[in-house]
Amino acid sequence: MILHSNVIGEGKPFIILHGFLGMSDNWKSFGLKMSQNGYQMHLVDQRNHGRSFHDLQFNYEVMVDDLLAYCNAKGLNKIILLGHSMGGKAAMLFACKFPELVSKLIVADISPRFYPIHHDQILNGLSTLDFLEIKSRSQADEVLSSFISEVGVRQFLLKNLYWISPGQLALRINLEVLKNEVSEVGEALDQSAHSKVLALFLKGDRSEYVTTSDFEIIKGHFPNSKIETVSNAGHWLHAENPDMFYDKVLKFIY
Do 5 and 70 touch, CB atoms closer than 8 A? yes
Q: Where are the alpha helices (DSSP H) in 25-81?
A: 28-35, 60-74
Strands 168-171, 161-165: pairing kind? antiparallel
From the list 49, 84, 235, 238, the catalytic residue is 235
Calpha distance 156→172 (Å, rounded): 13
From the list 24, 85, 111, 207, the catalytic residue is 85
Calpha distance 145→125 (Å, rounded): 8
SS3 198: strand
> Residues with Cβ < 8 Å from 216, sequence gap 6 or more?
none
Q: Which letter does DSSP use for residue 191 in this model?
A: T
Calpha distance 19→2 (Å, rounded): 18
Residue 235 appears among annotated catalytic residues? yes
Handedness of CA 140, 144, 145, 151 (dihedral sign): negative
Residue 146 appears among annotated catalytic residues? no
Do 190 and 181 touch, CB atoms closer than 8 A? no
> Residues with Cβ < 8 Å from 171, sequence gap 6 or more?
126, 129, 160, 161, 162
Instruction: Indicate which residues carry an active-site annotation.
Output: 85, 235
